[in-house]
Structure 1
Amino acid sequence: MATAPIRLAVIIGSVREGRFGPTVANWFARQAGDREDFAIDIVDLAEHPLPTVITTTPTAEGAQALGAVMPRIEAAEAFVVVTPEYNHSFPAALKNAIDWHNSQWHAKPVAFVSYGGLSGGLRAVEALRLVFAELHAVTIRDTVSFHGAWAQFGPDGEPVDPEGSTTAVKSLLDQLAWWAITLREGRERRPYVP
């Protein structure tokens, strides 16, 4: 029996000027795109600035941004969050995007690709695991992490030493696919009740 591709949202969590996130996210999306079991949607939070004040009536710009992001989060069956580490945690814009959604995360798997200095963004990932647990999402154990990320990629947007990162991506995607299919089948058989 053929299984429909997993709708995977790759979320770029940084919105800072001069950010490195698109380099990492685009590389990851190319890796995932080589597989037939994923259909990739890159959600760049910088392209859709969400309101920072949660109200029942957001501004026209905020409503437009929500209208661009919410259906994509809802449609996704799995997520990969690409995040840097800011002050031992993750970017405010990423937390804002997470908080604007709730049921859209329920019973879906979330994996992480992080980057940064010495820690490679791993402290941001640990903080995000707590947030996603509260949203009834399942976080994938294995991550892809780039320590000293700016030196890890060449001008072509590819890792200068691809062997380790390619192996890590394969492991992450294998686990993510297993959880996505398992949770898809679970939601189809019985709606998730938070």
Structure 2
Amino acid sequence: MADAEALRIAVIIGSTREGRAGERIAEWFVARARRRREVEVEVVDLADYDFPGRLPSHPTPAMVRFTEAVAHAEAFVVVTPEYNRSFPASLKQAIDYAYEEWHAKPVGFVSYGSRSNGLYAVEGLRCVFAELHVVTLRDGVSLDLLAGEEVGTEEMERDADALLGELAWWGLALREARERRPYVV
């Protein structure tokens, strides 16, 4: 059980495709993260949101619920596949629903794909999150599905622990900074 001062992490599952690997990968990562006392983890699965096909003039309940989840979180881990050397449109759509809610918070990545381990998706997301004033972490977890890599290998566990350590450090440091001085763009 996380304590009262635990860092609130939202693990965002970025793919909404049927048969996606992201849900299984996220479940493994969340189980690993929940072993740490300094974090409290919430899963934000984009497949659970009924987002509109077009941007409406007023936010829908699903848009509001997603934005509130982003506002509540103090740090993020995005679980993303790589589709055609980029990240899914469903993820970009959701990211764009929030703006200030992202500011001055850290994000780490768990990526998967074929051959490139989803790293092209991560590099694209780094640019998007930089525009939103989000600190992107250097270390991440990546998986090559084409090579038949299994979830939860020793290397993945080491990478997840490094990511969680960095995320906790940045998340707590930025929490303190936001409490002392509001972030201004």
Per-residue Cα deviation, 1:4-33 (whole angstroms, up to 9, x for no partner): 000000000000111111000010000000
Instruction: Encode CA deviations 1:42-88: one digit per residue, 9 max, x unaligned.
Output: 00001103224223225xxxx12123322111100000000000110
Give me the CA root mean square deviation.
Answer: 1.5
Q: Using a 3 Å threshold, how does the CA distance of structure 1 residues 52 and 106 change in structure 2: closer, same or farther?
A: farther
After the TM superposition, list the runs of 4 or more consecutive aligned residues in structure 1 that deviate by more than 6 angstroms. Answer: none
2:94 is equivalent to residue 97 of structure 1:
yes
Q: Percent identity?
A: 51
The corresponding residue for 2:157 is 166
Match among 163, 173, 182 for residue 182 of structure 1: 173
Q: Answer yes or no: is the 8 Å Cα contact 2:115–2:147 preserved in 1.
A: no
Q: What amino acid is the match of 1:73?
A: V
Given the superposition, is the C-alpha separation of residues 71 and 150 from structure 1 closer, same or farther in structure 2, using an over 3 Å criterion? farther
1:49 counterpart SS class: coil
Moved more, 4-13 or 63-72: 63-72
Which letter maps to 1:38?
A: V
Check whether the contact 2:111–2:118 (CA below 8 A) recurs between aligned residues. yes
Measured in 1, the distance between the counterparts of 2:131 and 2:55 equals 19
2 CA distance for matches of 1:139 and 1:173? Answer: 13
Where does residue 126 of structure 1 map in the other structure? Answer: 123
Distance 1:150 1:12 in 2: 22
Query: Is the 1:6–1:38 Cα contact (8 Å) retained in structure 2?
Result: yes
Aligned residues: 183
Q: 1:106 to 1:52 in 2, by over 3 A?
A: farther
TM-score (norm 1): 0.90
Aligned equivalent of 1:141, options 135, 138, 141: 138
The unaligned stretches of length 5 or more in structure 2 are none
Matching residue of 1:24: 25
TM-score relative to the length of structure 2: 0.94
The gaps in structure 1 that reach 5 residues or longer are: none
Look up the match of 2:40.
39
Instruction: Give the C-alpha shift of residue 149 in structure 1.
Output: 6.3
Distance 2:146 2:70 in 1: 27
User: What SS is found at the alignment partner of 1:151?
Assistant: coil
State how far apart, in whole Å, the 2-side matches of 1:33 and 1:17 are: 26
